[in-house]
Amino acid sequence: MMIWTNGKNKWKKKWILVDKGRGKDEKILLILMFIFSGILCLAEGKKSETEFKVYQFVNSQPINSEDIEDIYNAIIKSSKEFDIDPQLIATIIKHESGFDQFAKSSAGAIGLMQLMPGTADSMGVEDIYDIFDNIRGGVKYFKQCLIKSKNDIPLALAAYNAGIGNVLKYNGIPPFKETQNYVDKILNTYNKRFGKKVRYNEVEFEKAVDGIFSEITFENAEEGEIWVSFLI
């Protein structure tokens, strides 16, 4: 009956079929978008766990309440920019300045990440006392330390403290007590607070035995068992 009537019903039928097809495509598209959104949410959840740990850590420090968000955001943003664990950056800041924005060392290092003015200039820092500028400059410099040390975190920390030149000169952690203590304290905090397992490589550990780990006390020694505590 529909076949012989001027083609109107036939065309109408055809349009109905097209509409149904489009509705099916839209459903598929919505399903794909839902799945993709779920994947993004999972990815964000993973990052949020790390970021939350950083926020908790920053919030536990003696910082003015109005500066907490700025310091946290600067750590997260700069760490993402240079692809470094923000938990490590937060740990470095703790041991460098105690989260004091206006800290200044006897050697002239300034701010949260204790940048020397010359280093700050070379890292493009405009205001060395500014929270974001200082942290970004410090993270950028630490990234250079990581690159020079082939991503060896203990070596990169030593380079940040004593200078890349000294690490290259001694082909490892320099024999400076201050630097050795610095590296060990940061690794200790980083590992314990954030559940990391960063250790000295074998060569550096042997060097450390003659340096930072040389001051030890043997609290209890039985056959085949020695308890050692490090004096830091």
Domain ranges of the chain: 52-230
Q: Confirm whether 126 is a catalytic residue.
A: no
Residues in contact with 117: Cβ distance below 8 Å, sequence separation at least 6, in sequence order:
108, 110, 128
pLDDT digits (tens, 9 = 90+) for 93-121: 999 999 999 999 999 999 999 999 999 99
First to last CA, the chain: 96
**Which residue in the block uniquely carries the two structure tokens 């459903």?**
27
The pLDDT of residue 32 is 65
Residue 154's closest CA among 82, 213, 97?
213
For the domain made up of 52-230, give the CATH fold.
Answer: Lysozyme (1.10.530)
| Backbone torsions φ then ψ of 220, nearest 5 degrees | -155, 130
Tell if the pTM clears 0.75, that is, is over it. no
Residue among 51, 96, 126, 223 flagged as catalytic: 96
With 90 as the cut, is the pLDDT of residue 55 above it?
Answer: yes
With 70 as the cut, is the pLDDT of residue 64 above it?
Answer: yes
The pLDDT of residue 5 is 47
